[in-house]
A and B are shown apart, each in its own frame.
Chain A
Amino acid sequence: MRNGDDLLPSYTGRLISERLDHWRYGVVQAHQSWLDLILNALKKLREEGLTAALILSAVHNRRVLPLMSWPLRMDEMGSGASSRVLEACRMSNEVPADDEVAARVRAAVAGDFKSEHVNGFPTRPDQGSIDLVSPFSTYGFHSWFSSTSFKTYLCSRRD
């Protein structure tokens, strides 16, 4: 990832009038096989009914902006973290009303979204979040991500 300077690109107002070739780049063939485990986990989430609308309702309910730099990853924002750090990870101390969350979701996704469905698919580590370990009982999904082989893979991906 070429963002080592920790900055967004400066504004120039440049006009883009044609699609660049690399906008369609995919994964290099050598790394494709590494994705299989993740794609299987995504399949499980999809089969359980996860949608973009449910995801957006969950993040609004948790008062987290997914594209903001936070001290913790979303799944680490549980009871194990210090209350001071947790407070720094939230945009507000007050949980928004379900009606308000549903309205925000409807502004972003196609179709209707009712307030009774807010946080119907909680994120980790909240109560009711889906367990992705069991489908991979011989080699747990989350343990794989903390394994030496995965870390080796990530290191090999650094540009």
Chain B
Amino acid sequence: MPVSQGNNHPAVHKLARTFGRSVIEAACSSGQTILTIGRNDIGLVCRFLRDDHDLRYDHLSDLCGVDYQDKKPTRFEVVYQLYSSMLGDRLCIRVGVAGGDRVPTVTDVWPAADWLERECWEMFGIYFDRHPDVRRLLTLDEYGGFPLRKDFPLRGTVEIVEVAEGGVTWRPRS
């Protein structure tokens, strides 16, 4: 049976009862409920959503960052895509993150979040507290920044000049 979306989504009432003001907003876009949750409680909220008998969001489908620059109150958002095989429902959770803020990790709720949070850090610079291994996964330190931020140029800031026995020589891109 299809789950009600938006403000009538079953997760909204349960979360509001348990986490109160951490549930900032419930919206609906393209047929999917989007909950905006306070940054500090995201770990507890995810654990609740996974363990609650009526919700059971057992799959973490995706975790990514978005750089909104000045379009929203906080520059970045971390977006979680959850799926409940019991309800057959996809729920989107977003967390506003200002530059320099740290977000609690959800790797203790779903180990699947490990590399997803690492990639979010290296692409946006969003740090996840108590993540076991915050290191670059796909990119190089030489790129000198966080590539998916809007102020990072597409062609990058450096390029390879030469590769020799001693190593790689880089130069700033003109």
Does B associate with A? no
Residues of A within 8 A of B (CB): none
